Amino acid sequence: MKRALVLLAGFAAAAAALLAGFEAAAQDGTLKKIKDSGSITIGHRDASIPFSYYDDRQQPVGYAVDLCMRIVDAVKSELKMPNLKVNYQLVTSANRIPLMANGTIDLECGSTTNNLERQKQVWFTITHFVTANRWVAKRAANLKALPDLKGKTIVSTAGTTNIKQITEINAQQNLGMNIISANGHPEAFQMVETGRAVAFVMDDILLYSLAAQSRNPKDYQISAIALSVEPYGIMLRKDDTAFKKVVDAAMVDTYRSGAINAIYDKWFLKPVPPKGLNLNVPMSEPFRKVIANPTDSGDPAAYK
């Protein structure tokens, strides 16, 4: 009997050690980094309304930021750290991927396109918006089709898929466009306002936001032609399976619980701070399909 108890105790100890080993393995990478530091760092943008931007108190707010806060809550629960500190780090289109790869940020909460090329450097969680690559120009310019841009000066934001794509189209179709880059979306739009460029190529939802904030919104027109489909995703480090599992579960729960509806309405169908801008953009059919069948695909064909 005594020997049986000793054996039983030995099995229990071995099982406990095995379980501890599994838990330690599950908390490698980003989860371990967060646990050891007692904090999680959110990368955010300063002017990607309504996804990620500064309010009038210089606090990061937006649709993507709200979704990231739900992920943070899931991380707190996973690590049993209710008092986990949240740090914010401003990022740009050009530096967001390097800052993710080098460990400066743990989540990137902005308006970042998930595509197959970027998946070689970073991972993405479940898609949280589906947009398209278009251009904005003054109505008076009458730029309705790609040939209308031939030989003209076009601007896009540095470090984006948009500037890469319009550069490729320019070469393929021999359009002879002069393509210049801006450091941020507001700067690029201002170039169109001031006549330094005739069109700004960017994700349509961001163009609608910038045009709505301009002095004369009716002066601008966004192209009916879409150059590509752009699924947005929250970035995380590549090859971090344990962290992605927590992040994806939080996003899927947001969709299946119906919580996504109130979050979406808050940022796209109601006035948003600081100026009470209402984009009035109903949820698209491609995004409704994502909510019904969550995906992190970087293939545009998955959203048609």
Q: Report whether 43 contacts 30 (CB < 8 A).
A: no
Is the whole model's pTM more than 0.85, yes or no? Answer: no
Q: Quick one: which of 70, 77, 72 has its CA closest to 254? A: 70
Output the pLDDT for position 1.
46
Distance between CA atoms of residues 246 and 22, nearest Å: 15
Say if CB 41 and CB 89 are below 8 A apart: yes
Q: What is the pLDDT of residue 246?
A: 98
Q: Which two tokens stand for residue 202?
A: 């960017």
Instruction: Name the amino acid, one letter, at 280.
Output: N
**Predicted pLDDT of residue 23:** 40
Question: H/E/C letters for each residue in 257-295?
Answer: CCHHHHHHHHHHCCCECCCCECCCCCCCHHHHHHHHCCC
In the prediction, which pLDDT does 142 show? 96
Percent of the chain residues past pLDDT 90, beyond the cut: 90
Q: Which residues in the chain come in under a pLDDT of 50?
A: 1-26
Q: Between the CA of residue 50 and those of 26, 60, 109, 119, 205, what are the distances in Å?
A: 34, 11, 11, 24, 9
- pLDDT at res. 304: 84
Contact 126, 251 (CB under 8 A): yes
In the block, tokens 């109601």 appear at: 270
pLDDT on residue 18: 39
* Domains, in order of start, for the chain: 10-128+233-303 (3.40.190.10), 134-229 (3.40.190.10)
